[in-house]
Structure 1
Amino acid sequence: MVDQAVMLCGGLGERLRPFTDSLPKAMVDVVGRPFLEILIEQLVEQGVERFVLCTGYRGESIRAHFGDGSSFGAEITYSEGPTSWSTGRRIHEVESMLDETFLLMYSDNFAAIDLAGLFSRHAESGAKATLTIVHKPVGNVSVSGHGVAYSRRRSDASTHVEVGYMLVERDPTFDVLDGLAGSPDVEFADVLVALSDSDSLDAVEALGGYQSISDPDRLELTREFMSPKRILLVDRDGTINEKSRPGEYVSRWEDFSFIEEAVDAMAQLAEEGFEFAVITNQAGVAREMVDSDELERIHQGMVSTLDERGIAVRGVYVSPHHWDEEAFDRKPNPGLFYRASQELGFRLDRVVYVGDDIRDCRAAASAGCGMVYITSEGEDGQMPVSRMPQWTVRTFCEAMPVIREFYEGFER
């Protein structure tokens, strides 16, 4: 597992003016603290212990805020250079500080990543660098059966962009850097082009998209996304309402029966500022046992009834697929979690999902959110490995203290 990150934070941030008139871009405020602090916190939570900050423009403010990193659970060292330095030069200057494998970060992008999964993919592929990419109609990264192709220029022929969070093999990458004309005064993007030309790149897609502070408009969107939100994700059948018998489905609103204890718990949480999003599999639609229009009527009735109790449901996310379809939106796959995160604007690693099926637990682990597993069986040995907290309880009410504690921990 990688435990060292190199963060490029020396640029002028000209597109972010006037915010960068007196601050480096990485230090611009996002919900009460510098954006760079949010990135470091994210990586520390996933096991990164040591950081090399490559500073330039007004770098003294970064050093003054972070010091040696001990206040942030990290060990931080610095490489300072003039604003004229290229990204290739900045990385060249820290070669002696680097581990054999390190994480290279930009200081203006945030993506929901699973660092352990990224590392496993990187180790298995044998690539000299593994990029984290997101889908965009006009991009500079193409992924195909022939490998990963990287370009300095964007075009509609490429469907992804890279957003940092790249795992880099030090020695072969510096061999490429040192061999470029004009080295080390080149951009690191030139290194990626050379690695691409030699089929030495791999890539992992960040399916939850990304946030950026590269310009004022994006900064405001990122501030909203990063603001703490008490959004609780909830399964439907067996969690909010009584389940039908195996192989059957709730096919009419008249047959929908709330679990009163669960509704009471949701109402209490709602009084404390919680809102809810429902994520549910409904294979009865694909099996033609539930009419899609009637399913919509069921959910309208559910949302309306809960609203009468003061319980705000921000969205109902449904997979109508048959399990044989292996759809990305069907739990235990995390597709609906990513969709809810993007539409409602919340970090998946700052929310909890409540459900009563082991597939719920697997979906939550894949999405990178916390999990409350409601089961009458007690502790369950089938719980998936997750970097996020998981709790096993017998009732929704029993989960309320840990739910409160989880959300309050990010509001302090």
Structure 2
Amino acid sequence: MPKLVILDRDGVINYDSDEYIKSPCEWKAIPGSLEAISRLNQAGYRVVVASNQSGLGRGLFTLDELHQIHQKMYKELSEMGGTIEAIFFCPHSPNEDCQCRKPRPGLFYDIAKRLGIALMNVWAVGDSLRDLQAARAAGAKPILVRTGKGLRTLSGNMAGFEDVPVYDDLAAVVDNFLE
């Protein structure tokens, strides 16, 4: 079984915003999330991020600004003794009909190809139905957290995903995962 966990970014690692996270000062870690990633690393797990970043395609922020946001995340995570091996993101707006924008599984296929692994037993943590759909379509095992859009997701149509494990946040996922 590959020791890999795939995380969505906004709503799982950091607070989400309907106005998008457009700059490093808007990026704020959800309490316990960075520590949870560090604990996964210490247990021998590789961690990667798969994230829709349509703010790029919408012109709300630049690629340089996105890199600055990720640098802040890497820096804060390294202070906790953790690391994210890679960040895979879809830069397209919803109307571009790409294969990488979740709920399509393109980002997950890209992760599998670049890391040379099958996703069959890989957990993928997200806060939205499209995260769950993309993970399952790629053969990964979806997990839903209540942070971010998670509560909204739970109150919506979860048809076909009733069996997905649900946790309060990433720290609770990792608590259960490492038991």
TM bracket, shorter-chain basis: 0.7 to 0.9
- In structure 2, give the amino acid aligned to 1:399: V
CA contact (8 A) 1:277 1:316 kept: yes
Tell me if 1:277 matches 2:48.
yes
Provide the C-alpha distance between the structure 1 equivalents of 2:126 and 2:56, rounded to a whole number of angstroms: 21
- In structure 1, give the amino acid aligned to 2:128: D
- Offset of 1:381 from its aligned partner? 6.3
Provide the C-alpha distance between the structure 1 equivalents of 2:129 and 2:6, rounded to a whole number of angstroms: 15
User: Paired residue for 1:344?
Assistant: 115
Tell me if 1:232 matches 2:5.
yes
CA contact (8 A) 1:373 1:390 kept: yes
CA contact (8 A) 2:100 2:106 kept: yes
User: Paired residue for 2:30?
Assistant: 259
- In structure 1, give the amino acid aligned to 2:11: G
Provide the C-alpha distance between the structure 1 equivalents of 2:51 and 2:128, rounded to a whole number of angstroms: 11
CA contact (8 A) 1:358 1:383 kept: yes
- Offset of 1:238 from its aligned partner? 0.7
CA contact (8 A) 2:12 2:125 kept: yes
CA contact (8 A) 2:13 2:170 kept: no
TM-score of the two chains, using structure 1 as the length reference: 0.40
Give 2:166's match in structure 1, choosing from 371, 389, 392.
392
Provide the C-alpha distance between the structure 1 equivalents of 2:24 and 2:156, rounded to a whole number of angstroms: 35
User: Paired residue for 1:294?
Assistant: 65
Alignment map for 1:123-202 (pairs within 5 Å): none
Unaligned residue ranges in structure 1 (runs of 5+): 1-227, 406-412
Provide the C-alpha distance between the structure 2 equivalents of 1:384 and 1:269, rounded to a whole number of angstroms: 30
Partner SS, residue 61 of structure 2: coil
User: Paired residue for 1:383?
Assistant: 158
Partner SS, residue 160 of structure 2: coil
Percent identical across equivalent pairs? 32
- Offset of 1:346 from its aligned partner? 2.0
Alignment map for 1:200-219 (pairs within 5 Å): none
User: Paired residue for 2:96?
Assistant: 325
Compare CA radii of gyration and give the structure with the larger one.
1
Partner SS, residue 232 of structure 1: strand
Unaligned residue ranges in structure 2 (runs of 5+): none
- In structure 2, give the amino acid aligned to 1:241: N
- Offset of 1:314 from its aligned partner? 1.1
Give 1:360's match in structure 2, choosing from 116, 125, 131.
131
CA contact (8 A) 2:38 2:83 kept: no
Q: Could you list the per-position Cα deviations for residues 108-164 of structure 1 after superposition, in whole angstroms to 9, with x for gaps in the alignment?
A: xxxxxxxxxxxxxxxxxxxxxxxxxxxxxxxxxxxxxxxxxxxxxxxxxxxxxxxxx
- Offset of 1:392 from its aligned partner? 1.3
TM-score of the two chains, using structure 2 as the length reference: 0.87
Aligned residues: 174
Q: Which has the higher strand share?
A: 1
